[in-house]
Amino acid sequence: MKLFDVYPVNDIIIDKGQGSYVWDDKGQKYLDMYGGHAVISIGHTQPNYVKRLEEQLHKVGFYSNSVRIPLQVELAAKLGKVSGKEDYQLFLCNSGAEANENALKLASFHTGRKKVIAFRKSFHGRTSLAVAVTDNPKIVAPINQTDHVIFLPWEDQAALEKTFAEQGQDIAAVIIEGIQGVGGINVASESFLQKIRSLCNTYKSVYIADAVQCGYGRSGKFFSHDYAGVNADIYTMAKGMGNGFPVGGIIIAPHIQSSYGMLGTTFGGNHLACAAALAVLEVIAQEQLIQNALQVGQYIIDQVVTFPNVKEVRGRGLMIGIELPESLAHVRKELLFTHKIFTGEAKPNVIRLLPSLALRKEDADIFLQALHAILKNS
Ligand SMILES: Cc1ncc(COP(=O)(O)O)c(C=O)c1O
């Protein structure tokens, strides 16, 4: 059997990881400024994380949601503390798409409505509802197409008001990334998020904050939506939540009520997943990684804006987009193959940085020197 060929990969085999570094099978060391799509939040093979997973595996790895799992209760309490949303309710699943799928479904159950507002350049995942609210026709299969989704221009408050004025009674939810990731690192303004909050209040629609990429401390606050001083009704999470172990979840405001069978999953919230997620939160708190993300991120942004050939630098904390002219499409490859530094991209020419929140200033300096050297000679 061969693999179903859907990923255009770099010809590199990663064999080992530690902190913000990985090594290939030939022993070559790389600086990881991408964290495998924003997943490595506390660093590769972080010792407390490895220990907790190992210990849990020796006790019990999995049992289904047909029994009480105290680790889930412990995780909910810890997540409430670290995120500051102590009165919210936690539902655990396994990925970002699944988190958004559950959030949209729950919003529809709660309101009894079908329509959803999403935004241009959004990315919310590849499963049926998640891809339907994603603004990329290339990944929407005919079966995923629906007229329940209204796409509005990013940051267009007038369009948002008009849509609510015309169809507010039908709108189950607004779904928005606090910082668009795949769309190119576009930071939602505080006033835009506040407008969404107030319209959702008026029309009793559900505000869904997709925090899959921009959440979990990456922006320098636990949720990037926190910058606007608003509370969403549902936050969706995955990526950094398990530092590589597949864990996703949604947290749900207290006014949204549960009932048996409303949501469910076989794997979600299993013992190993909870152990991974707890280790991540413990390390985030102990090592003050949210503050670190803010400081090291700002350090990178402040430097990169002064570099030659940079069109714009966007982002917050350690979620940074560096927009280059299209003529400099080679920069990422050069970072990887000459300077041995992994970065991400957003089309057409944005370098996306999503490193571990434990990235140190001296690691950032290695990236900054390499980028400066390439841009200076471009
Ligand atoms: C904002 C956002 N939402 C949802 C997803 C989907 O997450 P997953 O790939 O875990 O399904 C992603 C993945 O890149 C994302 O960036």
DSSP string, 56-88: HHHH-S---TTS--HHHHHHHHHHHHHHT-TT-
What pLDDT, in 10s, does the model give residues 218-229?
999 999 999 999
Q: What are the residues facing 44 on neighbouring strands?
A: 19
Q: Using a 6 Å cutoff on CB, does residue 96 contact ligand 1?
A: yes
What pLDDT, in 10s, does the model give residues 91-118?
999 999 999 999 999 999 999 999 999 9
Dist CA 188 CA 122 (whole Å): 12
Q: Whose CA is nearest to atom 8 of ligand 1?
A: 96
Q: Using a 6 Å cutoff on CB, does residue 238 contact ligand 1?
A: yes
Single out the residue of 93, 103, 95 nearest to residue 274, CA to CA: 93
The Å distance, Cα 347 to ligand 1 centre, comes to: 16
Other Cβ atoms closer than 10 A to 368: 16
Reported confidence tier of residue 152, pLDDT bands at 50, 70, 90: very high
Dist CA 139 CA 129 (whole Å): 12
pLDDT of residue 189: 98
- Residue ranges and CATH numbers for the domains of the chain are 14-45+288-376 (3.90.1150.10), 47-286 (3.40.640.10)
Residue 304 has pLDDT above 90, yes or no: yes
Helix (H, G, I), strand (E, B) or coil at 99: helix
Residue 347 has pLDDT above 90, yes or no: no
Q: Using a 6 Å cutoff on CB, does residue 124 contact ligand 1?
A: yes
Single out the residue of 264, 248, 246, 274 nearest to residue 74, CA to CA: 274
Reported confidence tier of residue 378, pLDDT bands at 50, 70, 90: confident
The Å distance, Cα 130 to ligand 1 centre, comes to: 9
User: What token pair was written down for 270?
Assistant: 């299993």
Answer yes or no: pTM beyond 0.85. Answer: yes
Q: Using a 6 Å cutoff on CB, does residue 363 contact ligand 1?
A: no
What pLDDT, in 10s, does the model give residues 32-48?
999 999 999 999 999 99
Q: Whose CA is nearest to atom 16 of ligand 1?
A: 213
User: What token pair was written down for 229?
Assistant: 């001083």
What pLDDT, in 10s, does the model give residues 310-336?
999 999 999 999 999 999 999 999 999
What pLDDT, in 10s, does the model give residues 156-178?
999 999 999 999 999 999 999 99
Reported confidence tier of residue 355, pLDDT bands at 50, 70, 90: very high
The Å distance, Cα 102 to ligand 1 centre, comes to: 13
